[in-house]
Chains A and B, each alone.
Chain A
Amino acid sequence: MSKGNLTRRGVLKTGAVAGAGLALPTYLSAQESGFTNAPTGSTVTLGFNVPQSGPYADEGADELRAYELAVEHLNGEGDGGMLQTFSSKALQGNGILGKKVEFVTGDTQTKSDAARASAKSMIEKDGAIMITGGSSSGVAVAVQALCQEAGIIFMAGLTHANDTTGKDKRANGFRHFFNSYMSGAALAPILAAQYGADRKAYHLTADYNWGYTTEEAVRSSTEALGWETVGTVLTPLTQTDFSSYITPVLQSDADVLVLNHYGGNMVNSLTNAVQFGLRERQVNGKQFEIVVPLYSELMARGAGSNIAGILGSQNWDWKLENQLGAKYTGTNAFVKSFGEKYGFPPSQAAHTCYVQTLLYADAVERAGSFQPCAVVEALEGFEFDGLGSGPTLYRAEDHQCFKDVVVVRGKENPENEFDLVEIVEVTPVEQVTYAPDHPQFAGGALGSCNNGA
């Protein structure tokens, strides 16, 4: 019988010494710079955390295309895209603070725990200095909280729930995308103008956080203009066939159906509503109408011709500059770069991700440091233009961007799958701006920025 030399104490001692030894360089570098993952060499790493699997994988793929384009432009490759039109001229096309931009990617799977795990891995293993991306508010809120704890800047991708910059806001997190409140505020006057102030609305709402905030926003905005809400029903997120939720609408005296659904839910509920003849229906002597508060052009493709005539809102649209002029400068530069590289126009998800990357890089340049608190300071209250959405403010109080909101309608006869919506109107920023302590954003505090380390 042989006896090994391993003892519990021995293993613990060796482990402790080895662990301390391995941790020492990280500790020293952190101490030296005073913040997490301070870049030391000639490169800097950004972490793109997007859904690469799961139902939003196609949206994630478009976000990733935009990020790669942004990295190219930051490193002085390609035609420069929106760097040419951006009002801030701090970025020179030589990386960020002279360091070449590199990136790593993570897969959020559109699940909060998976998104946190991939963000954590990019921060701890790959040394990412900033995390950006995502295609859902649940993920954004979870990753934002993680970045706050880790002392990393989080530049949110597509997230529309009020809570991201409302009750779940964090000092290290920033959102360029618009939110539920803005959708409601932008849509309501146009709904009233198009369909009249005497309407009865029925809401079908996805049973999760984003659904609730969107329903609340659209309800309060439309009710303020005279609409009556005759019914609201929560639908399970996993629902695929919405017929049993659509048929009660036929029994009610509602003349508008609001679908507070996104992605696959929206495709299915809208398709089902059209199948049940709601678009041809006459109620109370009025034409029945359907409203989709948040449009996703990528997912709208799945609904095909069913989106014809349906009103909704978007953060941005690739036709803005061509149709509404130079106020939305930057749009065409981005569409050109993206279109030439990939062969089709970018989605609003791609736009917000590209812009967020540029905004982060620009803030670092202006701050002269990668230190998170310096970046936060540079972004807070930052006013800029030339990134496709017109003059925009990154509000200091909640780290939410304020800019015009695009109201769109599904085209009757789209020429191709990238041209499914037409711009109805652009609601000016003043109409979608709210006080930082607005009830829909109440609770929670920004707190103070965290440098980590």
Chain B
Amino acid sequence: MDAIILQILNGLDKGSAYALIALGLTLIFGTLGVVNFAHGALFMIGAFCAVTLSRVLSLSHKVEVPGETDFLGNPMMRDVPYAYEIFGESLGAGIIDWAVPLSILFAIPVMILIGVIMERGLIKHFYKRPHADQILVTFGLAIVLQEIIKYFYGANPIPTPAPSAFVGSFDFGALVGFDPGTIIYPYWRLVYFAFAAVIIGAVFAFLQFTTFGMVVRAGMADRETVGLLGINIDKRFTIMFGLAAAVAGLAGVMYTPINSPNYHMGMDFLVLSFVVVVVGGMGSLPGAVLAGFLLGILESFASMREVIAIIPGINQVIIYLVAIIILLTRPRGLMGRKGVMED
């Protein structure tokens, strides 16, 4: 039982990342009709926003340590962050410690800007082109973006830890009556799940309860008619692209303490996120979220030793297997709408 609870928890946090990326992908597909293979790169750029802010906050100057020498016998120099001098040592250290959550504030405008530039500068020229062209150009863009990041940050993963208050794990088992130590879960992963839930809720609320959201939904249903009513739907869709970029970026920012970010982390998530979108149903936002969590949980269960012992290699194929079964039984995906990508 405890093993099952643990794998569900695992699946939830894995599913959170899938759902957040798939949500953005579906938003872009639903509004602009573009299959955006650069979406994983936006997730990665979000993560590097956290790396960048953490580096900016940790900017330091060298101070000689008296009496000590480095490996070449030169005087030992120690880095002292400017933040210590500006804010005092304890506040400065606190700010550096909280770099990842603070990056949310930094990442939102950056990601919206990148999203809008990407849409206006490149993707809008491909609206009327076939999906294959869109896939090629966005995939190319993803490679360019990751090479740019690699140029500036190198190929190695860069550790970007969570604030020390969230380091460690939570004994969930002891709380619900199991033996202590059997169901423990890292604090930050719980934070990530809660964060994903808030973001997903916020996106739905925005689309459901604001006039802007209403217009966008109307545009998703029938772009032409909304245009004929004199509404500049293109402008709103551009903003939605920025918003989708921000959602992917925030997913990346908060992911950095879970796994040290590197330049190809976006590609690692991209393929799975597309499977999530297809399983959820092209263009369906609730479908993307549902499929994200469903596939996350299934992937976790398939990684259990007991399961692998029965069906060797199932952990490597489970997601694709489920995708095949769902598409065979429900060709439009779990919550796919009629007419989407069927013309």
State the A residues within 8 Å of B (CB): 53-58, 207, 231, 233-236, 238, 240-241, 243-245, 247-248, 250-252, 264, 267-268, 271-272, 275-277, 280-282, 298-299, 301-306, 318-319, 335-336, 339-340, 345, 418-419
Contact B159 A303 (CB under 8 A): yes
Q: List 7 A-B contacts (CB under 8 A).
A: A231-B305, A240-B269, A244-B299, A248-B303, A251-B2, A277-B169, A303-B157
**A319: which B residues are within 8 A, CB to CB?**
71
Identify which of residues 167-203 in chain B touch chain A, using a CB-to-CB cut-off of 8 Å.
168-169, 181-186, 188-189
Contact A302 B3 (CB under 8 A): no
**Any A CB within 8 A of the CB of B6:** yes
**Any A CB within 8 A of the CB of B154:** yes
* Given A277-B184, A277-B186; A318-B71 close (CB under 8 Å): yes
- Residue among A241, A281, A299, A335 facing the most chain B CB atoms (10 A cut-off): A241
A242–chain B nearest beta-carbon distance, Å: 9
A273–chain B nearest beta-carbon distance, Å: 11
Q: CB-nearest residue of chain B relative to A319?
A: B71
**Any A CB within 8 A of the CB of B13:** yes
**B11: which A residues are within 8 A, CB to CB?**
244
Contact B72 A340 (CB under 8 A): yes
**Any A CB within 8 A of the CB of B45:** no
Contact A276 B159 (CB under 8 A): no
Contact A276 B14 (CB under 8 A): no
**A58: which B residues are within 8 A, CB to CB?**
154-156
Contact A238 B268 (CB under 8 A): yes
Contact B260 A250 (CB under 8 A): no
A3–chain B nearest beta-carbon distance, Å: 40
Q: Which 8 A-B pairs have the closest CB atoms?
A: A304-B159, A302-B157, A57-B155, A244-B303, A277-B169, A244-B300, A275-B186, A247-B6
* Given A245-B303, A250-B182; A303-B260 close (CB under 8 Å): yes
* Cα distance, A239 to B122, chains bound together (Å): 32
Q: CB-nearest residue of chain A relative to B268?
A: A240
Contact A302 B305 (CB under 8 A): no
* Given A277-B184, A301-B159, A302-B157; A236-B315 close (CB under 8 Å): yes
* Given A55-B262, A240-B268, A241-B14; A277-B168 close (CB under 8 Å): yes
A136–chain B nearest beta-carbon distance, Å: 14
- Residue among A234, A251, A280 facing the most chain B CB atoms (10 A cut-off): A251
Contact B10 A57 (CB under 8 A): no
* Cα distance, A268 to B189, chains bound together (Å): 14
Q: CB-nearest residue of chain A relative to B154?
A: A58
Contact A304 B260 (CB under 8 A): yes
Identify which of residues 1-28 in chain B touch chain A, using a CB-to-CB cut-off of 8 Å.
2-3, 6-7, 10-11, 13-14
A35–chain B nearest beta-carbon distance, Å: 37
**B299: which A residues are within 8 A, CB to CB?**
244
Q: CB-nearest residue of chain A relative to B297?
A: A244
Contact A54 B259 (CB under 8 A): no
- A233-B305, A248-B303 provided; 18 other pairs, C-beta below 8 A? A55-B155, A55-B264, A56-B155, A58-B154, A236-B315, A244-B10, A244-B14, A247-B7, A247-B10, A250-B184, A267-B259, A271-B258, A275-B189, A275-B258, A276-B169, A277-B169, A280-B168, A298-B156
* Cα distance, A282 to B316, chains bound together (Å): 31
* Set A57, A245, A268: member contacting B260, Cβ < 8 A: A268
Q: CB-nearest residue of chain A relative to B259?
A: A268
Residue-wise, chain B 133-163 has the 8 Å CB interface mask toward A (1 for contact) of: 0000000000000000010001111110100
**B259: which A residues are within 8 A, CB to CB?**
240-241, 267-268, 271-272
Contact A264 B262 (CB under 8 A): yes
**B316: which A residues are within 8 A, CB to CB?**
207, 236
Q: CB-nearest residue of chain B relative to A51?
A: B155
* Given A231-B305, A238-B268, A244-B7; A302-B169 close (CB under 8 Å): no
* Cα distance, A275 to B6, chains bound together (Å): 14
**B155: which A residues are within 8 A, CB to CB?**
53-58
* Cα distance, A56 to B150, chains bound together (Å): 11
* Cα distance, A376 to B127, chains bound together (Å): 61
**Any A CB within 8 A of the CB of B304:** yes
* Given A236-B316, A241-B259, A271-B259; A251-B159 close (CB under 8 Å): no
* Cα distance, A267 to B265, chains bound together (Å): 13
Contact B169 A301 (CB under 8 A): no
* Cα distance, A241 to B14, chains bound together (Å): 8
**B72: which A residues are within 8 A, CB to CB?**
335-336, 339-340
Q: CB-nearest residue of chain A relative to B263?
A: A55
**B221: which A residues are within 8 A, CB to CB?**
none
* Cα distance, A267 to B158, chains bound together (Å): 10
**A267: which B residues are within 8 A, CB to CB?**
157, 259-260
A287–chain B nearest beta-carbon distance, Å: 13
Contact A275 B188 (CB under 8 A): yes
Contact A276 B186 (CB under 8 A): yes
* Cα distance, A250 to B7, chains bound together (Å): 11
**A238: which B residues are within 8 A, CB to CB?**
268
* Cα distance, A234 to B243, chains bound together (Å): 39
A202–chain B nearest beta-carbon distance, Å: 9
**A336: which B residues are within 8 A, CB to CB?**
72
Q: CB-nearest residue of chain A relative to B183?
A: A250
**A57: which B residues are within 8 A, CB to CB?**
150, 154-155
Residue-wise, chain B 200-232 has the 8 Å CB interface mask toward A (1 for contact) of: 000000000000000000000000000000000
B26–chain A nearest beta-carbon distance, Å: 22
**A241: which B residues are within 8 A, CB to CB?**
14, 258-259
- Residue among A57, A234, A248, A298 facing the most chain B CB atoms (10 A cut-off): A248
**Any A CB within 8 A of the CB of B63:** no
* Cα distance, A443 to B154, chains bound together (Å): 39
A344–chain B nearest beta-carbon distance, Å: 8
**Any A CB within 8 A of the CB of B308:** yes
Contact B169 A275 (CB under 8 A): yes
* Set A248, A272, A335, A339: member contacting B304, Cβ < 8 A: A248
Q: CB-nearest residue of chain B relative to A345?
A: B71
* Cα distance, A248 to B303, chains bound together (Å): 9
**B265: which A residues are within 8 A, CB to CB?**
240
Residue-wise, chain B 17-41 has the 8 Å CB interface mask toward A (1 for contact) of: 0000000000000000000000000
Residue-wise, chain B 100-118 has the 8 Å CB interface mask toward A (1 for contact) of: 0000000000000000000
* Cα distance, A209 to B311, chains bound together (Å): 21
**A234: which B residues are within 8 A, CB to CB?**
308
* Cα distance, A268 to B308, chains bound together (Å): 21
